[in-house]
């Protein structure tokens, strides 16, 4: 799939190093994980290496948030959390603005990214190809969580229902996005017998905010987006609610998953988890941005159960987690 075109040569070096550690690694259980990772406990994510020589304890931690909107907005939003992260871990950190899901996955796989929030759809790729170990996501103060995929248009577009998209352009974000591509593709095929390139013309905007702005400005007749992103954009007055009309709303999906590179030392991974779960939201820059879509705390998760529906959507779309 498209991701294989983005891998650095360093990835092959990492894979070669993994194979030279002995037959135990070569024979370990790994499921869909890339050959350099092991999953002895069956939780579907890469185990922490047992060989101390394979562990990393960097002086500066690099953090990246999923590239769904303007990176400058989110560098400011995460500022208070990163101060807290430095206090808990005792390590300096840097916010790394990424421009694509593929670049973010590539950065973690090559060892240049240590902590990240990967969007819903790219979590399986990050887990299987980059050794990502997700452990938390944002939730409302009462513990409820998730977002929905919505298919949107603009008033007077001539589109009143999903079937009206036939023969028109529909915007997606990127092929690794759950709500921006995977879920709507499976839905349109299964429920409406509509296939991109046959029944409508697909366009790729790159990001959810691009799709939302494109519909609001009448550049796209329709688009599939995450409604959590749309809610924050409306709250910030980037777009007006009356510029957009929703014609479909999906089941609830898990939101961005946050976690670490698998090869950080166990002690450092524990400290990073502690930073997430002890962060005080009240009055923070994180609260200021994410309360717009209803989030108010970090909720502990496990990838195996929380991302089950996303993996099923991938299977329906015949997605293979091909890493190289």
My answer on whether 124 and 186 are in the same domain is: no
Q: Is residue 324 part of a domain?
A: no
Instruction: Report, as an integer, the average pLDDT of 161-187.
Output: 94
Q: Is residue 321 part of a domain?
A: no
Tens digits of residue pLDDT in 20-58: 343 344 468 888 999 999 999 999 999 999 999 999 999
My answer on whether 88 and 173 are in the same domain is: no
- Average pLDDT value for the chain: 90
Domain with residue 97: its CATH number is 3.40.190.10
Residue 3: what pLDDT?
36
How far apart, in whole angstroms, are the C-alpha atoms of residue 174 and residue 121? 10
My answer on whether 174 and 124 are in the same domain is: no
SS3 (DSSP) at 151: strand
Tens digits of residue pLDDT in 64-81: 998 866 778 889 999 999
Tens digits of residue pLDDT in 251-299: 899 999 999 999 999 999 999 999 999 999 999 999 999 998 899 999 9
My answer on whether 59 and 161 are in the same domain is: no
CA dihedral 320, 321, 322, 324 (to 10 degrees): 170
Domain hosting 240: range is 147-253
How far apart, in whole angstroms, are the C-alpha atoms of residue 38 and residue 30? 5
How far apart, in whole angstroms, are the C-alpha atoms of residue 25 and residue 76? 41
Angle at 257 between CA 269 and CA 73, to 5 degrees: 100
* Lowest pLDDT segment from 68-82, 88-102, 191-205, 296-310: 68-82
Q: Read off the pLDDT band of 19 (50, 70, 90).
A: very low
Out of 253, 281, 304, pick the residue that ends a domain. 253
Q: Is residue 322 part of a domain?
A: no
Does position 170 have pLDDT exceeding 90, yes or no? yes
My answer on whether 167 and 225 are in the same domain is: yes
Tens digits of residue pLDDT in 101-152: 899 999 999 999 999 999 999 999 999 999 999 999 999 999 999 999 999 9
My answer on whether 241 and 156 are in the same domain is: yes
Does position 10 have pLDDT exceeding 60, yes or no? no
Does position 8 have pLDDT exceeding 50, yes or no? no
My answer on whether 202 and 273 are in the same domain is: no
How far apart, in whole angstroms, are the C-alpha atoms of residue 68 and residue 119? 8
Out of 230, 253, 276, pick the residue that ends a domain. 253
Residue 27: what pLDDT?
66
Residue 316: what pLDDT?
84
Count of structural domains within the chain: 2
Burial of 42 (0-12, 13-18, 19+ CB in 10 A): exposed
How far apart, in whole angstroms, are the C-alpha atoms of residue 300 and residue 143? 10
């Amino acid at each position: 799939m498209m991701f294989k075109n983005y891998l650095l040569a360093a990835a092959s070096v990492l894979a070669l190093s993994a194979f030279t550690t002995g037959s135990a690694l070569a024979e370990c259980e790994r499921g869909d994980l890339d050959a350099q990772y092991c999953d002895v406990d069956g939780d579907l994510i890469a185990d922490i290496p047992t060989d101390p020589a394979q562990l990393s304890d960097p002086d500066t931690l690099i953090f990246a948030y999923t590239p769904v909107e303007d990176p400058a907005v989110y560098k400011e939003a995460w500022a208070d959390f990163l101060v807290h992260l430095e206090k808990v871990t005792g390590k300096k950190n840097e916010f790394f603005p990424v421009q694509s899901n593929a670049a973010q996955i590539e950065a973690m796989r090559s060892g240049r990214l240590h902590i990240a929030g990967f969007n819903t759809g790219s979590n399986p790729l990050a887990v299987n190809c980059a050794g990502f170990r997700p452990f938390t996501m944002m939730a409302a103060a009462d513990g409820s969580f998730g977002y929905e995929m919505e298919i949107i248009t603009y008033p007077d577009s001539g589109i009143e229902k999903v079937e009206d998209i036939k023969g028109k352009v529909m915007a997606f974000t990127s092929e690794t996005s759950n709500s921006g591509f995977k879920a709507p593709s499976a839905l349109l095929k299964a429920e409406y017998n509509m296939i991109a390139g046959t029944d409508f013309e697909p366009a790729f905007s790159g990001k959810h905010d691009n799709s939302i702005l494109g519909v609001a400005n009448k550049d796209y007749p329709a688009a599939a987006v995450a409604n959590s992103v749309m809610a924050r954009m409306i709250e910030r007055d980037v777009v007006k609610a009356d510029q957009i009309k929703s014609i479909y709303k999906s089941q609830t999906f898990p939101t961005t998953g946050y976690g670490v590179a698998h090869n950080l030392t166990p002690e450092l991974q524990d400290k990073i988890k502690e930073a997430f779960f002890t962060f005080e939201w009240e009055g923070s820059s994180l609260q200021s941005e994410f309360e717009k879509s209803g989030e108010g705390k970090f909720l502990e998760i496990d990838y195996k159960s929380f991302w089950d529906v996303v993996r099923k959507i991938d299977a329906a779309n015949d997605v293979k987690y091909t890493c190289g």
